[in-house]
Structure 1
Amino acid sequence: MKANAPKRKVFDAVDVLMGEEEVRNNNDIRELVIDSIKPFHNHPFRLYEGERLEDMVESIKEHGVLNPVIVWKTEDGYEMLSGHNRQNAARLAGLKKIPAIVKAELTEEEAYVYVIETNLMQRSFTDMEISEKAAVLQERYDKVFYHRKREAILKELKALEGKELKGGHGDHHLKNRDAVGAEYGLSGSSVARLLRVNHLIEPLKDKVDKGSLGMKIAIQLSYLTKKEQEMIYDAMREMHVKLSQHQVIKLREHAGELTPGRVRQYIKMADPNKKVPVVKVPARLIQQYFSKIEPDRVDQILEEAIREYFEKREV
């Protein structure tokens, strides 16, 4: 906050919506040290970057944190439920403390409702990454039997945020993937595919979000154990390859008996349905770069250059 600016209460937005006394009676609001709040242990959303983050940092520098974050009191400290981006921006703005509503008596499922629903208040479902959509659908699909408690949480969040809920949240009696899909304009089969993303390790989720791992391949990998997925991810990085449908099916066929060596063996196996491209080096490049180089060295140079190229693309 600027030194010459009038001091502004950080609880203004909450006070206006609910009344200061009601907020203080129903929620334990404290000033917590920013670094004392850990990210939610199963937080599926990515933090803001670029211009959106810069705008939030500037706003906090000018006005402070107007809406308190919501944290979960655990045995060893606090976990963030709502406010990961505000915490990050406040830290970048130079703040040492942040206003927080502290929740103590929550189950794991109730805590996750806070995490999912507050993100849906801020962003459209269609704007989310694939892995983020998968997390939202998982919460809908697996935890709908908590709909009564969820309704109470949503009512509270709506008042705190002062925003309408997005995505047809009025119907909490969702029973199957078709009903969940209807909430977001998805078919039941699309929901089923997205739900499989939740079974991937984080590095593979990241590759799905970036488009470097196709959904069909990702779904096949999702049926393998976390350890097997880690072995495959490490092999993909070291060998600089993208998996084909043939390779991933072969890996699935040997689920439960995969080792790093076997993973590399199956990845090296040629796809019988895939034509290997014939690569020709243009004459002008040969003349320019290889005219004075021994033939035995040419293959080595090409291999090193290609490896370096794909390593840079992987970063």
Structure 2
Amino acid sequence: MSRTKALENVKLTSFDDLFGGNKIEKTAEAGDVKEIPLSELHEFHNHPFQICSDEELAEMIESVREHGVLVPGIVRKRKEGGYEIIAGHTRKHVCEILGFETMPVFVKEMDDDEASLVMVDSNIQRENIRPSEKAKAYKIKYDAMKNQGKAGNSLKMMSEESGENYKMIQRYIWLARLNDDLLALVDNKQLGIVQGVSLSVLPEKEQEAVYDAISRHKMKLSTVQANTIKQLSVDGKFNEQILERYLTSAQKQKRKKEITLKNERLSEYFEEETTEEEMMNIIFELLETWKRKKGSAQNE
């Protein structure tokens, strides 16, 4: 039996966890499997997901090395020639690593919105997804659903399909308006999602100025600081000089409140097995006692 014929008899659910699950199965349940040269398979036009070198990828490489690609990708024909990958970017990458020349795929007819929905749904449930990837993916899906006339209840539908709270999905969609530099800070946990949402209302030039300033100051913005910068922009008062003065002032205020307690001093008062949390609790209890005594003395 040929490899292609064998693939036609494989149930797509057998490798759901590795290759995309029931969403792909329902989309590709009809049609013939074709072996397409890797050179003719092109990335989706606005594919937001990155291929990571992690344990999951290593498992996929070993599986494909041993069994071949058991779950075909999904592609559509391109006007420019060749095929656009809708689901199967990682599989193609694995095939390239292993030196394969072709990959099994289902060739489907889909418009841009249908293809976008399948592309997002076949990737969004992956375990290790960066906030930037999720933000761009949810934005793509939201726009596609809006084009299909589903904007009214799209957030609710997306929440039900993904299992993620619809308010969180809405935050991610707003987050997608950040430039790539600020999104990278979110991915690296140097900028919080809530703070990123606040900054997402800023025009591109102002976002560039904020990125430059917080990078130079090595700051992680608080919610209050991000909202203050947002309000400056909304009120038309944002410029680089005002931003610089505000961030410099915020850093000075923060430094005034920071006190470093050296371990060698603390060891004079605490046993070695005392945890940091226990130390802090005792220190603040003593400060509260001192505060009450000080207040009583002043009232005498």
Distance in 2, Cα, partners of 1:67 & 1:118: 12
Structure 1 unaligned spans of 5+: 1-6, 149-171, 285-315
Q: Is the alpha carbon distance of 1:225 and 1:211 closer, same or farther for their aligned partners in structure 2, counting shifts above 3 Å? A: same
Task: Tell me the TM-score normalized by structure 2.
Answer: 0.63
Secondary structure at 1:44's aligned position in 2? coil
Q: 1:71 maps to what in 2?
A: 75
Match among 56, 63, 66 for residue 62 of structure 1:
66
Q: Is the alpha carbon distance of 1:51 and 1:204 closer, same or farther for their aligned partners in structure 2, counting shifts above 3 Å? A: same
Q: Is the alpha carbon distance of 1:246 and 1:98 closer, same or farther for their aligned partners in structure 2, counting shifts above 3 Å? A: same
Q: 2:97 maps to what in 1?
A: 92
Distance in 2, Cα, partners of 1:266 & 1:38: 47
Distance in 2, Cα, partners of 1:101 & 1:84: 14
Matched, 1:231 2:209: yes
Number of aligned positions between the proteins: 245
Shift of 1:220: 0.5
Matched, 1:204 2:198: no
Q: Is the alpha carbon distance of 1:180 and 1:213 closer, same or farther for their aligned partners in structure 2, counting shifts above 3 Å? A: same
Deviations along 1:15-73, one digit per CA (max 9) or x if unpaired, are 4459xxxx9x9458342234x53332322223242221112122222333233322343
Q: 2:144 maps to what in 1?
A: 143
Matched, 1:270 2:250: yes
Identity fraction in percent: 28
Q: Is the alpha carbon distance of 1:248 and 1:146 closer, same or farther for their aligned partners in structure 2, counting shifts above 3 Å? A: closer
What amino acid sits opposite 2:174 in the alignment? Answer: R
Secondary structure at 1:95's aligned position in 2? coil
Counterparts of 1:28-177 in structure 2, within 5 Å, are 29-34=34-39, 36-77=40-81, 78-103=83-108, 105-120=109-124, 123=125, 128-135=129-136, 137-138=138-139, 141-144=142-145, 175-177=153-155
Task: Tell me the TM-score normalized by structure 1.
Answer: 0.60
8 Å contact kept, 2:120–2:137: yes
Distance in 2, Cα, partners of 1:207 & 1:197: 12
Match among 1, 6, 9 for residue 3 of structure 2:
9
Deviations along 1:208-245, one digit per CA (max 9) or x if unpaired, are 23432212211101112334323322333333222233
